[in-house]
A and B are shown apart, each in its own frame.
Chain A
Amino acid sequence: MLKIDELEKCYRNKEKRSIFHTTKSKEEKKALDGINIDLKEGQALACIGENGAGKSTLIKCALGILSPTSGSVRLFGEDPRRNKKYCMQKVGVVFGQKTNLWIDIPVIESYKAVKQIYKVDNDTFKRNYEMVMELLELKDIIDVPARRLSLGQRMRADIGLVLLHGPELLFMDEPTLGLDINVKYTIRKFLRQLNQQEKTSIFLTSHDLDDIDEICDDAIVISKGKQIYSGKLDELKNVYADKHIIKISGMKTGNILSLFPGVELTEKENQSIISWDKSCYSVQDVISGVFRMYAVDDIEVREPDIDEVVSRIFTEGVSI
């Protein structure tokens, strides 16, 4: 569906001057440096990266609305810049910060406009429309002008809009930015369903790593324009999630460090968190040690979640 080879994109920074001081800077910034992607049908790919890593640039290049400096992009086998109409007919894009809706007219009218622009036949439109209405709970907001919607409502309406023409590939750039937990849940469930039942491919960028966990199976990591990981999401977690974590509520009766030197111990009032390298000690050993050193009220064994995985990647760099 989407094949990207050795994609590079360089920007040249223009001179910027203000009326009081002159600072000349003509740098070349490499926004993307050698990205490779092969997205197949029914695949849900997450794109993880820090702010400014190049994720939005990548999406724009994939869509053909930004020209790469070198490398190739093939969307459904075509160059999206050459064969725009064909490619755009089959994709849907949700930009987190910019809305697809026409802002002063009711949502339903934006939907109707989309039907005409994408030349969707009546049956398909009706089917998609009802699916979207039900699953995204749009009944209350369908007649409201986009201007008056809250962020969560607008995002749901946006996602609905994008699916009306039945795209095969969905790009989402930070779709859950600023949304509350209920809306996020609705959207995640919906996207998961879409991917599994309709086999719609998804390319998702998000800072909310729970989104990624819920929706995607595959991931690429981009940092400073370079692609530093590409593969399964679980593998990523395994490689980086090489620590065990135990959370304990209870009074301390002894020093756990005497039994297991080298573990990290964080203490806060009545709670302690112990984390250690998997290769050093086994979970059973540490747990029995804990019961000897603490009057345990409550105990919890956790895997590091993807937030920690990702922040470790960014601080330590990659070595796979």
Chain B
Amino acid sequence: MKNFWTYLKISIKSKLYYRTSFILNMISPIIVLCGQVLLWKGIFKLNNASDFADMSRNAMFSYILIAFVLNNSLNWSTENSLSKDIRNGTVVSKMIRPTTFLSQNIADMFGGVLIQGLFYTLLVIVIFFIAAKDLFVPSFSNLLLFVLSAILGMILRLMINDFFSLLCFFVTGYLGIAWLKNAITNFFSGAMIPITLFPVTLKSIAGYLPFKYMIQVPISFFLGEYTFADGIKTYTVQILWILFFIILHCLIYRKIRINLVIAGG
């Protein structure tokens, strides 16, 4: 476990080294957030509604903000650093070290999550204090349930990311996989639009996939739509999915080590 902290520290330090680009990379999603807020404000205003298909205005804005934090704790470069390493061949150094491949990857991604996640969480908390009357503020117990669900969801997100990155061993480029992953994950996790708004067929498809546990489900706790009883059920499913991906990782990894082909020269 000590090794985990070492890798984590290195990951954080290397991300913080370039101050300007670090700040710019942080601002980028905020701009996207602003766009989203404006879009929904516009939709609500022009349709003169106080709710949109059973989601109240306040709930919707809270949804957007929380989804923002959860979705942007991992940014593009962190997500794809493993994929790029695999494409370059530099991943070999990771495989030779005496720590498990999985924990190194998780530590690396986690570094990004800590920095960005922390920053955005603080930002959103501030927004909640400022704009409290326009937002849905959860009760304390809901908040706790939410936090637990979010943490599990984050671990699941890291595992899914790891899984997609491993696929890069089998394909020659990483961009295709990265885009595919983004498109599917963003849509079915509820990052783009709440799953509760999906039409029936899509909603049931989304129900079978693990992605909703990354964003939609934690936020459901936040908005008080789920209770503790639901919690027991969803936490279990989340943990099961996480275990599923861990096992998947080990299986794939073993196959990779047997057939290793890395670009030469």
The reply, when asked whether chain A contacts chain B directly with Cβ atoms under 8 A, is yes
Give chain A's interface residues, CB within 8 Å of chain B.
17-20, 147-151
Q: Which residues of A contact B22 (CB under 8 A)?
A: 19
Contacts A/B (CB < 8 Å), 17 sampled: A17-B19, A18-B16, A18-B17, A18-B18, A18-B19, A19-B16, A19-B17, A19-B19, A19-B22, A20-B16, A147-B263, A147-B265, A148-B263, A148-B265, A149-B265, A150-B265, A151-B265
Complex interface: chain B residues within 8 A of A147 (CB) = 263, 265
A18 to chain B, nearest CB (A): 6
Query: Using Cβ atoms and an 8 Å threshold, which residues of chain B touch A18?
Result: 16-19
Contacts of B264 in A (CB 8 A): 148
A residues less than 8 Å from B18 (CB atoms): 18
Nearest CB of chain B from residue A142's CB, rounded to whole Å? 16
Q: Which residue of A lies closest to B18 (CB)?
A: A18
What would 13 more interface pairs be, CB under 8 Å, given A147-B263, A148-B263? A18-B16, A18-B17, A18-B18, A18-B19, A19-B16, A19-B17, A19-B22, A20-B16, A147-B265, A148-B264, A148-B265, A150-B265, A151-B265
Please name all residues of chain A whose beta carbon is closer than 8 Å to the beta carbon of B17 when the two chains form the complex. 18-19
A-B contact count (CB 8 A): 18
How long is the Cα–Cα vector from A263 to B108 in the complex, in angstroms? 60
Give Cα A147–Cα B264 distance, bound, in whole angstroms: 9
Residue of A whose beta carbon sits closest to that of B20: A17
**Would you list the 3 A-B pairs with minimal beta carbon distance, nearest first?**
A19-B19, A19-B16, A148-B265
How many chain B residues sit at the interface, stated as a range, is under 10
Bound CA–CA A148/B17 (angstroms): 32
> In the assembly, what is the distance between CA of A19 and CA of B19, in Å?
6
Least CB distance from B88 to A in Å reads: 11
Closest B-chain residue to A154, C-beta based?
Answer: B265
In angstroms, Cα B22 to Cα A147, docked, is 31
Chain A CB within 10 Å, residue with most, of B16, B18, B263, B265: B265
Query: Separation in Å of the B185 CB from the closest CB of chain A?
Result: 29
Question: Distance in Å from the Cβ of A78 to the closest Cβ of chain B?
Answer: 39
Which B1-21 residues have a C-beta within 8 angstroms of A?
A: 16-19
The complex places the Cα of A115 from the Cα of B264 at a distance, in Å, of 29
Shortest C-beta distance, B111 to chain A (Å), equals 14
Residues of B within 8 A of A149 (CB): 265
A18→B15 CA distance, assembly (Å)? 11
Bound: A151/B265 CA distance, A:
7
B264 and chain A: residue at smallest CB distance: A148
- Most interface-central of A17, A19, A150, A151 (chain B CB within 10 A): A19
By a CB distance below 8 angstroms, the chain B residues around A20 are: 16
Chain A nearest CB from B104 CB (Å) reads 24
Q: Which residues of B contact A150 (CB under 8 A)?
A: 265
A107 to B263 CA separation, bound complex (whole angstroms): 18
Chain A nearest Cβ from B253, distance in angstroms: 26
